[in-house]
Structure 1
């Protein structure tokens, strides 16, 4: 029976606020972890986690107390232990200060150690696994969660640690005693020493956002009054995807909507009564950690000299308390290019765009006050951009499962559904920059007595499972996209099919265009979607 696998590349925006976890988890009498409520799972009779004296006070771990986990021969490969939700570890979110997780282990066999974190709703991105490299001595293992995402809205907060001390899918030939200790959270590696360099251009097909900062006029002291999100059309900025242009104007809506309000309009002079800074921008969290260059061309500049126009890149931390900004004035027709080159681990969100600052104006003066027309340097053109993407394990990967009957049962499609990447089972390792694909196991493991998933006579799986592991990226829309990579190891059974793909959907997912190619052996691959 054939099973199907696919991996694909075609970004999600998020920002974060912070909590902190209770750590280091050292199991000392006056420390953290010894009095936690640890629950053992999937380990046959589930012998409890024990906190004992360190049996080997040498090497990297000379502390007094450690945790002892006995992985039973009859337990599942993924047997483990977990802290009490929200109570023990506390609640926290990933930021630049805690994405490197370290644990000391003492093991008598070589096998993976897995660590994952989940929320009170059960949401998790799955475990990261690292193998010990020595036996019968202490070793510190490092887990890189720099690519981990915080829970989406409605899915709670990270509040439990789950540890798999002896995660060996080949099974155990005896009971294995594992000791672990000194679980620490440290600053992440920030994606390596050499950040990616990314160039973005004016792309009117993107979603533009608006934000207004309002000030008193210089005659009234010039103080900041308030800032607020603002409709792009109200700011007033005109986005034209067909021409690939952004046209900037002074702000008129505050005057037009409030002609008799002295807050907005000087009732004696008839002039606007506030300095209005209208910001029109794209917000893109996927640029976090990168050196970002923003380029474009001013094709027309007729705006009155009473207004200031700037191009900017702004980078915020998770709670918007820190702003790093690169800004340059636009004063005439011609090209522009600015670069933000100081990414760090605290960055959480990148915005790039334009601001117009000056007196809020009477819409009757729109023609006289002029505007600024901005586009990409090639004007959008008829030739789509050619973009090459590669396997990047620091990206957010999503999962989707399609389930079919077996050929013996007709092969019909049964259902499709979003599916956790770790449940599919695909392992994403940002440190090694690898994506490892396996057959699906969780549907069998979670439902061994359910004839829907498991043939109760043969003991074999009873469905064909197509696990799709992919990156979703709306910024590639309209481009000729090439997806390249290398298969460094291929040991998968011939009963399974593996494909690499690029899929392009319309807005309601009713139309799919797809480029797909089989992966059957080690070596490089390259596929191109060329019909945007």
Structure 2
């Protein structure tokens, strides 16, 4: 519940924000949402006069107007945040209407009931509870007959007093845990009040209640994991070696996820199960939670060069996620091709999870030259052989990891089928292997180490072929296999043949494959890409502004060139919409700008030279943003625009805002965009 102290603080924040925004250009204002959490704090004079004070509250609000709801036709006039209005009522129940407007003109209207009584409050019932999720926060609710509001004195050294509407909740966070005398007083329009006091023990949350942030999906060759459920950890690692420390070790379950707990920390070691060569890695990741530690010193230890440390400040009662460049250690002289241990130094109690070294995703085969088949459009004609069931395009049964597209190919190796059973489909044109000599395929297998044989063939002469084998490295998850065809003879290859679990008779196992691409060789030199929205699964929630129509996901109207996927986002810049009209959607997790520094977007525009503005933003604080412009270079065809975000500040960007034909008023032009990816 909002309180009067909070309102005064909010006024200062909004005033400062509005001043800042007015110095920026209009688009920064337009992206603000409509006001939210609109309500009012109601108090009444205790003299039977019926004089009620109404203080509107809300977020993203520039001003309020209150209709008093008593049939008088009067209203408050314009109120700035933090201002109050007063109105005299007769006894009775009234429904006031609060209209809140943001600085870009968006309005939210809510109704709120108030009961005016000149009878003294009766039957006061007070509920005082420690918050289940926020350490040292106490929530108070009061209800009483004839009361309109209540006041809470929290009994802390500052004698904090907060006012709230009756039947609502007011919350306060103490500096220290302990026993405090909390007094609640209920008010009506009468001079008489009713109070309740209780000596209440405020408790501190000493362990995390939610699991650490989920580690991102990375290829095994890009990670060396010490402790993380997301990856395969180094076997035999000792998390509590006997170094004479006072620290107490325990592995605890947090919301279904095991984490390390080091209590009474002074220093603590981790002894790796083997010597680690992290010279190919770039970053150390670690998640830390604490209730009482202020910082932690992190030391990787080398067999040859000893130890070097980085000190990290900790925010209490939340997971602190750190991505520490390994250069922070190597610049101090640490060698990282012979790492043997970690050491942590600090005080209090810390919880650790997701401890791993990683590098930017490997470029699996380098640059994509041509998408041969992604099963999003019309499915190819499959021909199966060796007594297996027909291969068919189906909805992706596991939209996760490296493959979140909508459709995939399902390969059923029927029980009793031949060890060489497989399937093929023909391409529309002959493979061009002159400059691109690898075939990348995303595969899903229920078996680890199953042989996947890949074959390219001339459909007019099946004696002209080339084949090569790879084996699966994961179970029940997507991985990318890259088949090297650089040694293939110069034939006209226009047929793709694939065999799963080659050499083993069928046993009714199901396999899937997708995203068959011709790629150039590139090795694992860093770089790579990470797709974060392709509009093939569940569509994101779009929010538009500037008087334009909604953005929506539709079937791709031009499946050609570099974009033959099934679905795209349609952006209609409605006639008469603002020059800064646009729309946004939120991502499931913040964009990883530590690993990547570009955002690639496939766009389709009816205009050459139209400005496309990309803006990334923190959905929790829209003053934290970065934006960059590019211009279209084609008309009525797909092109790929790469926006450089390397100079963006280190905020949690989880909102993507798009503006097409920025700076020009809407004229009913239709634009499309698709395949949003992070890149290096």
Q: Is the shorter-chain TM-score for this pair beyond 0.5, marking a shared fold?
A: no
Bigger proportion of residues as strand:
2
* TM-score, normalising length: structure 1: 0.29
- Relative CO higher for 1 or 2, CA cutoff 8 Å, sep ≥ 6? 1
Larger Rg: 2
* TM-score, normalising length: structure 2: 0.24
